Structure 1
């Protein structure tokens, strides 16, 4: 991304830019992204295939970069953009239609820098929570997000908006069998640490010195028994007794911070 005052080329795969990373298998067909951070990050991602950008002139001016002359761009009014996205979506004058990111396999993202944490979600289906977790994963330099293919939200504008650009940064690996993925993480040397409110040990006590994969379940139900059984240890956040639990995205952010602060 260019610094303020500079203009780079927002070219995506068409420009063969270097340094970006894809993230996961998404829904089939086209994906529509909206909002400045989500759209700008997608335009800068070399793994993205862009199909069309609808934008107001103010929206284009807000981008920290320049589109190539042949980019498929159509200027539109604010009301017209509102009809392209979910109701009341904060599009900020930018709506990008693109192809989903290509599928990744877990082995693709575990080969380098093993000290970077992995986040594993067990049936967390709220796209706002998944987007927020992606944002925290990017902020604390996580290696990847791992979810089950069937019980996680598809790649979408809601996830991308909540992730504030992190959808294009953090590899999102979707797997058929989450228990098998946890076994693969163990084989790669990761300590699988499940967050569970009923656990005796606290996060600080259970956090290892080496590579760690944080496993979090859906709010309310928590981790399934089989997934908890594939963790090396369970731990809880030392929150006040006055509060029963935290939102799963907040819990993920705290765990990732703890790993970064070791």
Structure 2
């Protein structure tokens, strides 16, 4: 199997039809699949089917783009990116909380796209004692080498789960006693909210914030008091501020 780091040192790249198909069938977590646009070959169609079965993000690109990314020159119309680190299950996080004798504290990210933000959030999650980070499969960044590096080693200790549908996961967790607070400009000041108990902290996309459906599934909307001249904090900083208000209230 041909597997190597891509040019940005981001993830493991797998090239060639057999190698890519083998990656899917062996259960390797594939974050993204690039396919030659318009390619109707049987083997390529099989690979795309496998990708959809595994909820992998599929992007159709032109030949020039594939050739530019390819390091072997033998991509055969397909390049897959596999996660640099293994994903956990949401159940693992709840088990970790139980093991520590603590109320579950999870951090959920609604489409964080910047690997540096994700890495910094995993680092904060670890230090704030969160039991895990949950990210969606679509559009968002996965566990790349850049994420690992920015997490300063926290990726080895804090479980990260990838879920198909964030709102569905939240509803399932609500049944297990968790409640959710999301960060949003229009919310109530975080200092006025009771953030104790089994909690999920939801942080939105860098540009668009928390999506409508996810926001509607939350129990509370918290805002961070801001006094400056610009209107928002970086996503990883916002996570840090809110996570530590949760820590403060738990210690209280």
TM-score bin, normalised by smaller chain: 0.5 to 0.7
Matched pairs, number: 170
**Alignment match of 1:242 (pick from 229, 233, 240):** 229
Q: Give the TM-score normalised by the residue count of structure 1.
A: 0.60
Give a deviation string over 1:50-70, Cα, whole Å, max 9, x none.
xxxxxxxxxxxxxxxxxxxxx
Q: Give the TM-score normalised by the residue count of structure 2.
A: 0.62
Q: Given the superposition, is the C-alpha separation of residues 155 and 99 from structure 1 closer, same or farther in structure 2, using an over 3 Å criterion? A: closer
Q: Cα RMSD over matched residues?
A: 2.2
Tell me how far 1:207 sits from its aligned partner: 3.3
How far apart are the structure 2 equivalents of 1:229 and 1:179?
9
How far apart are the structure 2 equivalents of 1:207 and 1:260?
12
> Which structure's relative contact order is higher, taking Cα pairs within 8 Å and 6+ residues apart?
1
Give a deviation string over 1:213-239, Cα, whole Å, max 9, x none.
110101220111001011011110011
How far apart are the structure 2 equivalents of 1:238 and 1:99?
36
Conserved in 2, the CA contact under 8 Å of 1:30 and 1:100? no
Counterpart in 1 of 2:25?
Answer: none
| The structure with more strand, counted as a fraction of residues | 2
**Alignment match of 1:164 (pick from 128, 152, 162):** 152
Structure 1 unaligned residues grouped into runs of 5+: 1-28, 35-97
How far apart are the structure 2 equivalents of 1:253 and 1:131?
12
Tell me how far 1:101 sits from its aligned partner: 3.7
Q: How does 1:22-171 map to 2 (within 5 A)?
A: 100-111=84-95, 112=98, 113-171=101-159
Counterpart in 2 of 1:22?
Answer: none
Corresponding residue SS for 2:186: coil
